[in-house]
A and B are shown apart, each in its own frame.
Chain A
Amino acid sequence: MTDIDVAGLGACPIPISDYPNVLLAHGGGGSLSQMLVDTMFAPTFDNEWLGQLHDGAVIDIDARRLAVSTDSFVIHPLFFPGGDIGSLAVHGTVNDIAMCGATPTAITVGLVIEEGLPMEDLWRIVSSIKTAADQAGVSVITGDTKVVDRGKGDGIFINTTGIGIVDDGVDISPARMEIGDVVLVSGTIADHGIAIMSVREGLEFETALESDSASLHGLVRTILAVGGSGVHVLRDPTRGGVASATNEIAQSGGLGIRLREADLPLSDPVRAACEILGFDPLYVANEGKCLAIVDAAVADDVLSAMQDHPLGKDAAAIGTVVDDHHGRVFLTSRIGGNRVVDMISGEQLPRIC
């Protein structure tokens, strides 16, 4: 049997090494499907709910308010610096639950695999899901697997749905935004999107650029502990970047937001890559950052607490909520000028000349 060393799991043999590639039958519901569950998924995720191997999981939760979130992951390439589609699928859903002010408890994992995906790749991804879930403190309690014909998928698509318990007294939503609130971001922006671009065909940067993909609920716990009811909005700026997230918040909350270009935290390599490619970092995806819109009275304390947290060391105040241009986001440029930060339509395209 081939051994593959996956970080955190030691040298584990790939289960089902008799099948170097995923076959249609692995998704067919018959004996090969069962073998996939019995030899790969169940032992890896190993918990009392999954162990029941029932159609669904019944889980005891003492909660008046349950946060639920679902997300699908179709990223290409499957493996990138700083993560892979598996870890991304866990972090993404855990973060959506965290942004509700909830503690994530459990996730489901739905796989749509393209026939022919190397079993070694599937194992790497499944192991990565396990590692990310452990780090996030969530269990994979139920799942589903389908296999589609070769050519009908992009290697693998993953859907995760998460549940979490919202603590009493926590009320996070754009409706709570107030004029004068401070907009905080937990660290450098555009890291994930640029890391993905750097491994796509045709672009080979010498500098190693890594995705910032990470589970943020620990950081969110810190923010809520220090800021209390002064924490009004939480959002993770994923696709569409900080620009899209702040626009959505401004629209939902019915107030305006003004960002300050000079205060946006950017790592030097990412800034350089954005300049070369002609990308505006405000529109580039993040996978391990959160925005927090907080009452001015608690802003300094919350910011300090974020900066003390390992995932927030580059946290910064980047803007304010204003009683102006309601529903829209504006930016003060580095040289003191003014412009709108609009929702982007379509993808950002690289500069030509």
Chain B
Amino acid sequence: MKYVDEYRDEAEARRYLDAIASMVTRPWTIMEICGGQTHTFIKFGIDELLPPEIELVHGPGCPVCVTPLEMIERAIAIARHPDVIFTSFGDMMRVPGSDADLLTVKAQGGDVRMVYSPLDAVALAQANPDRQVVFFAVGFETTAPANALAVREAKLRGLDNFSILTSHVLVPPAMEAILGAPDNRVQGFLAAGHVCAVMGYWEYGPIADKYETPVVVTGFEPLDLLQGTYMVVRALEEGRFGVENQYTRAVTLEGNAPAQQLLAEVFTTVDRPWRGIGTIPLSGYDLRSEYEDFDAVRRFDVEAIAPPENEICIAGEIMRGLKKPHDCPAFGTTCSPEHPLGAPMVSSEGACAAYYQYGRAV
């Protein structure tokens, strides 16, 4: 199979591991942004195969994890409406609100459905004109074009019963927030390959220059991550900073122009609160005024209650690379996938879930 087996070749992996080990002369702290990348590192055991000088910390690249609690509560309140069909990707359904999650609402009789694409939600709206269909539009730039397409499609079809609850976040502002924090430990970045497949990587040059940090756009297979790590470590050892592209088979500097045009047509950039991190300026998307009818926040008048976060959960520090999941006193004890205290233990892209599932409990 193309692009899978070759990127999991054991001999090649060994070559890169040896090359990194022979090149490294001092400790380096490297962050990968995307939760999918975190999972590959842990699932294939790469974190334990890398030389001890390389410390991997994990970034906030888990859109489920950074969706504010207040938005979860809003989703739950909307899903409880008897005339609503609430649609979402699977992960969001397990994130706990103050006293329930979307799966609880489903068990109590709410019409909550998992979909594979926002266009499925549009089709549902068309097929059920007497119901309100809401799609929980969570994600980074990777999933935003599909959501924009869904909204535009709904408008073209003249649907008045379709809306989205938007919780879109953007990667470059998050990187700035992490690098700009006074307690930042990150020295090199592996940028999220699929985000860059959409947006290109031209946004990262100014960030790399400003913070004198090397950034390598990296894919998701084990060899992608090893090659990306190699490129970052090489830059650090040589005292260089700037942007390189490891994921050349999917990413170009400019990115996907039609997708970007679609995003510009439907969304506008706004300040966004990131759960566990705080508000990051110009780090999220809202619907433009021409599409505001499709905004579920406007359509459904629900209270914007922000329940208190669990005091023990250190998700924010983990997502900024300051702590690791097993540094948390609750990890594996009071906090587990069966009863999560925070989102990173729930989401398939969460660092805590990866550490727990693949046995990185210290």
Check if A203 sits within 8 Å of B116, measured CB to CB: yes
B210 within 8 A of A: no
Closest 5 CB pairs of A and B: A337-B45, A340-B359, A349-B90, A335-B13, A353-B142
A336 vs B8: C-alpha distance in the bound complex, in angstroms?
Answer: 10
A-B pairs with beta carbons under 8 Å apart, 28 shown: A202-B115, A202-B116, A272-B1, A275-B4, A328-B359, A333-B45, A333-B222, A335-B14, A335-B46, A336-B45, A336-B49, A337-B44, A337-B45, A337-B49, A340-B358, A340-B359, A342-B357, A342-B358, A344-B357, A345-B336, A345-B338, A347-B90, A349-B90, A349-B91, A349-B114, A350-B89, A351-B36, A352-B63
Interface set, chain B 104-151, CB cutoff 8 A to A = 114-117, 120, 139-140, 142-143
Check if B348 sits within 8 Å of A278, measured CB to CB: yes
Check if A336 sits within 8 Å of B359, measured CB to CB: no
Check if B36 sits within 8 Å of A353, measured CB to CB: yes
Contact with A along B1-35 (1 / 0, CB 8 A): 10010001110011000000000000000000000
Neighbouring A residues of B142 by C-beta, 8 Å: 353
Residue of B nearest to A340 (CB): B359
A338 within 8 A of B: yes
Check if B44 sits within 8 Å of A352, measured CB to CB: no
Given A202-B117, A352-B91, A336–B13 Cβ distance below 8 Å? yes
Report B234 CB to chain A, min CB distance, Å.
20
Pick from A334, A351, A353: contact of B140, CB under 8 Å:
A353
Check if B90 sits within 8 Å of A330, measured CB to CB: no
Report A221 CB to chain B, min CB distance, Å.
36
Given A342-B359, A353-B142, A337–B348 Cβ distance below 8 Å? no
A10 within 8 A of B: no
A86 vs B337: C-alpha distance in the bound complex, in angstroms?
Answer: 34
A176 within 8 A of B: no
Neighbouring B residues of A342 by C-beta, 8 Å: 356-359
A288 vs B318: C-alpha distance in the bound complex, in angstroms?
Answer: 43
> Using a Cβ–Cβ cut-off of 8 Å, how many residues does chain A contribute to the interface with B?
28
How many interface residues does chain B have, given as a range?
A: 35 or more
Pick from A330, A346, A351: contact of B94, CB under 8 Å:
A346
A268 vs B4: C-alpha distance in the bound complex, in angstroms?
Answer: 12
Interface set, chain B 58-107, CB cutoff 8 A to A = 63, 89-91, 94
A335 vs B14: C-alpha distance in the bound complex, in angstroms?
Answer: 8
Check if A350 sits within 8 Å of B90, measured CB to CB: yes
Residue of A nearest to B114 (CB): A349
Pick from A268, A272, A335, A352: contact of B8, CB under 8 Å:
A335
A339 within 8 A of B: yes
Report B89 CB to chain A, min CB distance, Å.
5
Residue of B nearest to A353 (CB): B142
Check if B90 sits within 8 Å of A335, measured CB to CB: no
Given A202-B115, A346-B94, A330–B359 Cβ distance below 8 Å? yes
A313 within 8 A of B: no
Interface set, chain A 153-171, CB cutoff 8 A to B = none
A98 vs B48: C-alpha distance in the bound complex, in angstroms?
Answer: 41
Pick from A333, A336, A346, A347: contact of B14, CB under 8 Å:
A336
Report A331 CB to chain B, min CB distance, Å.
9
Neighbouring A residues of B9 by C-beta, 8 Å: 335
Neighbouring B residues of A146 by C-beta, 8 Å: none
A337 vs B223: C-alpha distance in the bound complex, in angstroms?
Answer: 13
Contact with B along A191-204 (1 / 0, CB 8 A): 00000000000110
Give the one of A328, A340, A345, A352 with max B CB within 10 A: A352
Pick from B10, B139, B336: contact of A335, CB under 8 Å:
B10
Report the tally of A-B residue pairs with Cβ distances under 8 A. 87
Residue of A nearest to B336 (CB): A345
Check if A333 sits within 8 Å of B4, measured CB to CB: no
Neighbouring A residues of B13 by C-beta, 8 Å: 335-336
Report B249 CB to chain A, min CB distance, Å.
15
Report A70 CB to chain B, min CB distance, Å.
26
Given A336-B13, A340-B357, A352–B1 Cβ distance below 8 Å? no
A350 vs B349: C-alpha distance in the bound complex, in angstroms?
Answer: 11
Check if A333 sits within 8 Å of B117, measured CB to CB: no
B43 within 8 A of A: yes
A76 within 8 A of B: no
Given A278-B348, A330-B359, A346-B337, A339–B116 Cβ distance below 8 Å? no
Residue of B nearest to A333 (CB): B44
Report B209 CB to chain A, min CB distance, Å.
28
Residue of B nearest to A277 (CB): B116
Check if B337 sits within 8 Å of A353, measured CB to CB: no
Check if A339 sits within 8 Å of B45, measured CB to CB: yes
Neighbouring A residues of B91 by C-beta, 8 Å: 349, 352
Report B66 CB to chain A, min CB distance, Å.
14
A346 vs B120: C-alpha distance in the bound complex, in angstroms?
Answer: 24
Report A125 CB to chain B, min CB distance, Å.
27
Pick from B14, B143, B356: contact of A353, CB under 8 Å:
B143
Report B353 CB to chain A, min CB distance, Å.
10
Contact with A along B333-350 (1 / 0, CB 8 A): 000111000000000110
Check if A202 sits within 8 Å of B120, measured CB to CB: yes
A124 within 8 A of B: no
Report A279 CB to chain B, min CB distance, Å.
10
Report A313 CB to chain B, min CB distance, Å.
21
Neighbouring B residues of A268 by C-beta, 8 Å: 1
Neighbouring A residues of B94 by C-beta, 8 Å: 346
Check if B44 sits within 8 Å of A345, measured CB to CB: no
B194 within 8 A of A: yes
Check if B116 sits within 8 Å of A350, measured CB to CB: yes
Neighbouring B residues of A328 by C-beta, 8 Å: 359
Pick from A202, A338, A351: contact of B348, CB under 8 Å:
A351
Check if B43 sits within 8 Å of A333, measured CB to CB: yes
Given A336-B49, A342-B359, A352–B89 Cβ distance below 8 Å? yes
Report B212 CB to chain A, min CB distance, Å.
30
Check if A339 sits within 8 Å of B359, measured CB to CB: yes
A271 within 8 A of B: yes
Check if A337 sits within 8 Å of B46, measured CB to CB: yes
Report A210 CB to chain B, min CB distance, Å.
20
Report B268 CB to chain A, min CB distance, Å.
22
Interface set, chain A 310-330, CB cutoff 8 A to B = 328, 330
Neighbouring B residues of A345 by C-beta, 8 Å: 336-338
Neighbouring B residues of A335 by C-beta, 8 Å: 8-10, 13-14, 44-46, 49, 222
B42 within 8 A of A: yes
